[in-house]
Amino acid sequence: MVAVKVLTRYLISRVLLGVAAVSVLLVGLYTLVELVRETRALEAGYGLPQMLWYLVQTTPRRLYDIFPFAALIGALMGLGVLAAGNELVAMRAAGFDRRHVALRALLAIALCLAVLVLLSETLIPDLESRARADREAARSGQVYQGQFGQLWLRDGPRVIRIGYSAWLTDDQLEFGELLIYELGQDMRLERIVAADRARHDGRSWQLEHVEHWPVDSRSGRVLLDQFELASGLSPELFAATVARPRLLPTADLLDMLEFLERNELDKLPYQRALWSRLVYPLNVLVMVLVGLPFVFVGSRQQGQGLRLFAGVGLGLMVFVLVRLVEGLAAIILIPVWLTALLPALVISTGMLLFVKRS
């Protein structure tokens, strides 16, 4: 029993070290690419300190994005080092078969996933949204993020508070709970406009279920089904500040789905984001599981480097396959939950049977 615990800790530590080393390398490369891209956007209000702070705030999101690849490569590297020193052979002689090694390697990845999923539900969304808002505020001076995630925009003589934003398609946003303050030339408040829903076509705001009233008039409030306001904001501003569905925490995704259902709007982008988040840990474990047999084969034969490369390649193919199957939900009538779960379940079942019988 003591020997089993020692071997378990040793295996897990080797895998964790491999994953940590690869994560640092991949995040560093990813950050370098972001750095080069951000330097092209440097201007008077958005200088080097603001750019570096933006990169720091968005580092956790980059880790979340690259972790499937870091887990796959790191786990295979960690076990590959053991295989190269014939330590896996010694472990098998001590009673650790392939199934024991595979389960402990997956346990190490699961520990990393538990921490990462917690961050993705708490820290990462807030950091990402605030970093985007701060960057656009420095670049244009037209955006500010409020205490509860509400966006404040300066649009010519108007100050606009947006309660929520929803991506209906890749380039179309739906806004809700707008409160618009119109200012005069002397910066005094002249009119207030409230709208339940709105869209922006690049030239104007298309408001629905509108209520507006002049501040210095006794004419009272006016109710309108639709109303249009000219706008000087560019669509690129919204694309840069409004978080995509995949970056939202699960609670926000559920709230958004309820809102879209209530207003009879397209839910597919948020359904896909929700199920992608839910099956994210399973997909990562499946990628690692697919590559493990190449480590075991390499422990007995030459050409271990080539076999590890093949394991990484096969794991990446699984990643691409999962993305392709998820995309079918937008083309044919397949439930989103089925397209999200089916690839991981089929592949993991097949690989577990292979590892168990070999």
DSSP assignment of 228-241, as one string?
A: EEE----HHHHHHH
3-state secondary structure of 162: strand
Q: How confident is the model at residue 149 (pLDDT cuts 50, 70, 90)?
A: low
User: Which residues lie across from 207 on neighbouring strands?
Assistant: 198, 227
Q: pLDDT band at 293, cuts 50/70/90?
A: confident
- Residue whose entry in the numeric block shows the structure tokens 């078969």: 97
- Domains along the chain with CATH numbers: 2-122+267-357 (no CATH), 143-244 (2.60.450)
Predicted confidence (pLDDT) at residue 327 exceeds the cutoff of 80: no
Query: What residues contact residue 227 under an 8 Å CB cut-off, 6+ apart?
Result: 193, 195, 207, 208, 210, 212
Among 293, 101, 281, 259, smallest CA distance to 168 is for 259
What are the tokens at 50? 């603001």
> What is each CA distance from 328 to 9, 13, 239, in whole angstroms?
41, 39, 25
Torsion of CA 327, 125, 30, 81, to 10 degrees: -90
For residue 115, how far is the Cα from the chain centroid? 15
Q: Which residue, among 218, 163, 199, 155, has the nearest Cα to 181 in the 3D structure?
A: 155
Of 127, 110, 107, 144, the residue nearest 62 (C-alpha)? 127
Higher pLDDT, 293 or 224: 224
Q: How many CA atoms lie within 13 A of 179 on its CB side?
A: 5
- What is the distance between the alpha carbons of residues 263 and 257, in angstroms, rounded to a whole number? 10
**In which band, very low, low, confident or very high, does the pLDDT at 4 lie, cut at 50, 70 and 90?**
confident
Q: How many C-beta atoms surround the C-beta of residue 182 within 10 A?
A: 19
Residue 300 has pLDDT above 60, yes or no: no
More confident residue, 59 or 42: 59
Q: 9-41 burial by CB neighbour count: b if 16+ within 10 A, else e?
A: eebbebbbebbeebbeebbeebbeebeeebeee
Residue 73 burial (10 A CB sphere; 0-12, 13-18, 19+): buried
**Site of tokens 């592949």:** 347
At 8, is the pLDDT very low, low, confident or very high (cuts 50, 70, 90)? confident
Lay out the sheet containing 173-183: strands in order across: 143-145, 151-155, 158-167, 173-183, 189-200, 204-214, 222-230
Report which of residues 99 and 28 the model is more confident about.
Answer: 28
Instruction: Give the whole-angstrom CA distance, residue 8 versus residue 154.
Output: 58
Q: Where are the beta strands (DSSP E) in 138-187?
A: 143-145, 151-155, 158-167, 173-183
- Res 314: pLDDT: 79
Distance CA 213, CA 231 (A): 19
Q: What percent of the chain has pLDDT over 70?
A: 91
Average pLDDT over residues 132-147: 77
pLDDT (average), residues 34-41: 90
Report the pLDDT value the prediction gives residue 299, as an integer from 0 to 100.
47
For 164-210, the pLDDT digits (tens) are 888 877 678 889 889 999 988 878 888 899 999 999 988 899 999 99
How does DSSP assign 19-56, residue by residue?
A: HHHHHHHHHHHHHHHHHHHHHTT--SSS-HHHHHHHHH
